[in-house]
A and B are shown apart, each in its own frame.
Chain A
Amino acid sequence: MSGFKTHTGKAASLKRDHVDTDQIIPKQFLKKIDKAGYGEFLFYDWRYQSDGQENPDFELNQLNTKDSSILITGNNFGCGSSREHAPWALKDYGFQVIIAESFADIFFNNCVKNGILPIRLPKKEIQRLYSEESPDVISHLIVDLENQHVVNGSGEHFYFEFDPYWKKMLLNGWDEISVTLQYEDKIKRFETERIVN
């Protein structure tokens, strides 16, 4: 995986709370055995009508949001199932950053492990991100992981917290398993010396 340093892109908004993983990628698409090609099924039930046509009312089907790479959303995003198909679908669709008021725990980890940057910002700041733009899309947003801030079109900076360990992993695009395998001695020692309960 290549490292994540900064990203500049267009941001689409999905102003909903509690978007669960069943909505992000419905279960009928979990039957594949590889990681590729989930993007076309992202938000399937919202995105398409029952006749298979695009739903013209859905936020991400608007002309001005189509090539967004940043998703801005509400509270408790990614709640529900542990399915990693959710970040695979978001990434395959083209999203590299998700800004939300809060994330479900497993989903947050799943994002980081797939090179998607999940950013928590307070609601007020999320509202301010939009400043002078249309209410649904921000054409130019800069996301800087090194300095942990987001900069909007009017040059306003929004600082976000990020765990130092995951930051390092993301910045360098390290393969976590390779890192952990360097702890082999410690793992072995644990296995021989541990307290068994």
Chain B
Amino acid sequence: MGKTIIDKLWKNHVVAEEKNKPDLLYIDLHLIHEVTSPQAFAGLREKNRKVRRPDLCFATMDHNIPTADRFNIKDETSRLQVQTLEKNCEEFGIRLEGLDSLQQGIVHVIGPELGLTLPGKTIVCGDSHTSTHGAFGALAFGIGTSEVEHVLATQTLWQNKPKQMNVKIEGELGFGVTAKDVILWFIANYGTNAGTGYIIEFSGSAVRGFTMEERMTLCNMSIEAGAKASVIAPDEKTFSYIQGKPYAPKESEFNARCEAWKKLVSDNDAVFDKVIEINASDIEPMVTWGTNPSMCLPISGQIPAAESSLSIEEKQSIESALTYMGFQGNERLKDVDVQHVFIGSCTNSRLSDLVEASAVVEGEKVHPGVRAIVVPGSQSVKREAESLGIHKIFLHAGFEWRDSGCSMCLGMNDDIVPEGERCASTSNRNFAGRQGKGARTHLVSPIMAAAAAINGRFTDVRSIMQTKNLEVDRYVGI
């Protein structure tokens, strides 16, 4: 029987295999940030342990840091956390892209950008959206702080091999439909539990057609479908993305590495535990209306009402989401006003996201009732965007143009949404309180967020694109 890409990635990393035990897997890259690491380093110190392979660790600070006046961290505990990371990296000899680094950014944006994320690697980070790196054909998953400590001390993790699912996305995406809409549509239709216990391989012609940045958006949110990880087989697009990146294999060995990476595909006769087939042309621009990512509808949709649902549980969950989100039920999404727009987060803050959103914004003004911010995923993205003049389009329209960080994705810094107000957000979680206590989050794609900023309410971005005569091509990414 053939092997899946997941089988191959797994097998290449097994250090020890024993009966009645999980496998001991070797970890090739350990990404570290300020929030989930302090207790792990403290644990090492307590037991007088060393970091086994500091050369395979890489740290940045992103969750806590200000995006407006970045060196001025007012909150004392945030400052302490950032300083603690600096101290830990210095003491244990770990590379750190700190606040003053030109390469600082959200951990899942800079890993790929620096060429640290490569096909065939096992990659972990104390952050659930580590699944992002699977877009390169890496086995990448989030871990807790005890596991961070375990990887620091041993460069390994005990893991039971999950089941495997193939999600095939075939056909072409419609005009104005993005990778974000694809993953939101998947979760809306298959639920936040769809991937529980599984690693997903995304395949199919739509996925092959995606740029690397679109693939990252897709894999990023597979965790919201409950999956342990997700992976996309590497191909020429992957290789050309990697080539020349600062930490990528050097020219002399690059071709040989590509040859090895090409073997990281599922064999034709490989068998998955589950297969889901999706027709890309069924997907429309999506907007979440509730408090988990499966509470999500096409922009043409109408918010559900509690009575129309079936079971008691479903009714209760819809009722409490409606109450939190300030809806009665039955409202049309297009009638919903927004007060905040956030373009950022590890899901949608890369250059193509900003370019696409800026094309919608160009020549327009942010609606007077809206406060809109753009937070590039990394300082490199910010510089590249500025060299293209994109910041001017946003600034001219009335957006704020910030420094990189997680920002309003989780509101650990000053960027929060006030109680009871609504935010069209390109991030990945719409849980109650995620963007601030009582904040109402609606997840959308960058171009849908741009459309909401201009009109002050959710809008089908396709109508704006048609009016502005925007080329379809522009929306398949760069």
Contacts and interface: CB of A to CB of B under 8 A. Distances in A.
Partners in one complex: yes
Interface of A: 17-18, 20, 22-23, 26-28, 30-35, 45, 75-76, 79-84, 87, 102, 104-107, 109-110, 113-114, 163-165, 176-177, 180-181, 183, 186-187, 190-191, 194-197
Contacts of B81: 31, 33
B15 interface: yes
Contact of A176 (B16, B75, B146): B146
Given A33-B84, A114-B146, A180-B156, A82 B260 contact: no
B144 A22 contact: no
Given A33-B81, A75-B193, A82 B153 contact: no
A20 B147 CA distance: 20
B160 interface: yes
Contact of A109 (B35, B38, B52, B144): B144
Contact of A102 (B155, B196, B313, B432): B196
A22 B293 CA distance: 14
Contacts of B78: 31
B321 to A, nearest CB: 10
Nearest to A180: B154
Given A45-B437, A106-B142, A187 B154 contact: yes
Contacts of A18: 192, 292, 317
A11 B313 CA distance: 22
Interface stretch (B21-29, B359-367, B444-452, B469-477): B21-29
Contacts of A194: 12, 26
B145 interface: yes
A114 B42 CA distance: 15
Contact of A83 (B24, B36, B226): B36
Contact of A180 (B24, B257, B429): B24
Nearest to B152: A177
B15 A27 contact: no
Interface of B is mostly: loop
B21 A165 contact: yes
Contacts of A83: 35-36, 144-145
Contact of A186 (B15, B35, B149): B15
Contacts of B247: none
Q: How extensive is the interface on chain B, given as a class?
A: 35 or more
Nearest to A167: B20
Given A23-B432, A82-B128, A84-B39, A164 B150 contact: no
Given A18-B292, A33-B80, A187 B158 contact: no
Given A79-B192, A197-B120, A177 B154 contact: yes
B142 A82 contact: yes
27 contacts: A17-B317, A18-B292, A20-B429, A27-B410, A30-B412, A31-B64, A31-B77, A31-B78, A31-B81, A33-B80, A33-B84, A76-B192, A80-B431, A81-B127, A81-B128, A84-B145, A106-B142, A106-B144, A113-B146, A163-B22, A165-B20, A176-B150, A176-B158, A180-B158, A186-B15, A187-B24, A197-B118
**Nearest 6 pairs of A and B residues by beta carbon:** A197-B120, A33-B38, A31-B77, A113-B146, A110-B144, A84-B145
A183 B36 contact: no
A197 B121 contact: yes
Contacts of A84: 36, 39, 126, 144-146
A187 B156 contact: yes
Contacts of B193: 75-76, 102
Contacts of B42: 33-35
A6 B120 CA distance: 42
Contacts of B146: 84, 109-110, 113-114, 176
B433 A26 contact: yes
A45 B433 CA distance: 8
Nearest to B263: A197
A72 B427 CA distance: 31
Given A35-B39, A197-B264, A105 B143 contact: no
Nearest to B264: A197
B40 to A, nearest CB: 9
Contacts of B121: 197
A186 B49 contact: no
Q: Which of A106, A191, A196, A197 has the most chain B CB atoms closer than 10 A to its own CB?
A: A197
Interface in B154-209: 154-156, 158, 160, 192-193, 196-197
Given A32-B77, A34-B42, A183 B16 contact: yes
